[in-house]
Structure 1
Amino acid sequence: MLKYLNLALLIVFPIAWFAPLMRAGINLPLFGLREVSVISGLQALWDTDVILALLVTFFAVFAPIMKVLGLALIQFGMMRRKMLPIFNILGKLAMADIFLIALYIVIVKGVGMAKIETGWGLYLFTACILTSIAISFATGKRQRA
């Protein structure tokens, strides 16, 4: 069951990347809010700060997918179980992206010039990361038993 739940993340992660993390805009009644997703945020970031864009791309896209694929290889017996701690670290690195998004929301809300509303994609992305960490933990427990 864990194997298939892990593989389902290969479908759910891309949905979370395109889902609206937040709606942002100027705090004036005539201006609408623009939806920001992981992908649209990365596109904007590539135009302004390439190094930060590389870091966020690694944390948000590559780390979670590498972890899911690596864990799947372990679960299907195609990779040694000694690699599990490395994939656990990748899952924790993916949580850094959630932290960056939350920090951004808190900072912008604190300034008061802009309006930020969290979107359902933030919760979906967070759930994907936490599910991946839980699957990894359960797989590690199962391997020891």
Structure 2
Amino acid sequence: MSRYVNLALVLLFPVSWFAPLLRAGILPVFGLSEISVISGLQSLWQSDAVLALVVTFCAVFAPMMKVLGRALRDFGLLDVRAEPALAVLGKLAMADVFLIALYVVIVKGVGLATVEVAWGLYLFTALILISLFLRSPK
């Protein structure tokens, strides 16, 4: 069963990258713009390439490498010695969820901007948590 859940993650992670994570705007009067992982990365690449590289790795590459590595492991195509590396990749993916949550808390604390959590943040977080707790079949 875990093999199929992991393969579903391979399909669902790209969906979560384009799903709205947040709706943000300056004061509620001006309307809110939806922010996804991809749109956020596009903006970040224009302003800070080093941070964009780190966030791209944590949000896109780490979770996908984790689930693809787990799939290879599940089907006997990757050695068991790769398990610690897969665990590290899962933790790096969780760092991105922490950064998004921190952003929400900071912006809400300032009070000049409006930030609403959208369904994509819950999807992205759930996928990462599922990938963290998914075990390879023995």
- Please classify the TM superposition score into its range, dividing by the shorter chain length: over 0.9
State the number of aligned residues: 138
Which residue matches 2:4?
Answer: 4
Q: Which contiguous aligned blocks of 4+ residues in structure 1 show a shift greater than 2 angstroms?
A: none
1:101 matches 2:100? yes
Alignment of 1:109-120 (within 5 A): 109-120=108-119
Q: How far apart, CA to CA, are the structure 2 residues paired with 1:21 and 1:104?
A: 12
Distance in 1 (alpha carbons) for counterparts of 2:82 and 2:114: 43
TM-score, normalization by structure 2? 0.97
Report whether the alignment pairs 1:68 with 2:67: yes
Is residue 2:124 matched to residue 1:122? no
Q: What's the counterpart of residue 17 of structure 1?
A: 17
Aligned-pair identity (%): 62
Report what 2:26 is aligned to. Answer: 26
Partner of 1:45: 44
Report the Cα distance in structure 1 between the residues aligned to 2:16 and 2:59, rounded to whole angstroms.
10
Question: Tell me, what secondary structure is at the counterpart of 1:21?
Answer: strand
| Separation (CA, whole Å) in 2 of partners of 1:21 and 1:8 | 20
Distance 2:72 2:11 in 1: 17
- List gaps (5 residues or longer) in structure 2: none
After superposition, the Cα gap between the structure-2 partners of 1:129 and 1:47, relative to the gap in structure 1 and judged at 3 Å, is same
Matched, 1:56 2:55: yes
State the shift of 1:28 in Å: 4.3
Deviation of residue 91 (structure 1)?
0.3
Q: Which amino acid aligns with 2:110?
A: V
Q: Distance in 2 between matches of 1:10 and 1:134?
A: 15
TM-score, with structure 1 as normaliser: 0.93
- Give 5+ residue unaligned stretches, structure 1: none
Change (3 A) 1:18 1:81: same
Structure 1 residue 134 displacement after superposition = 1.2
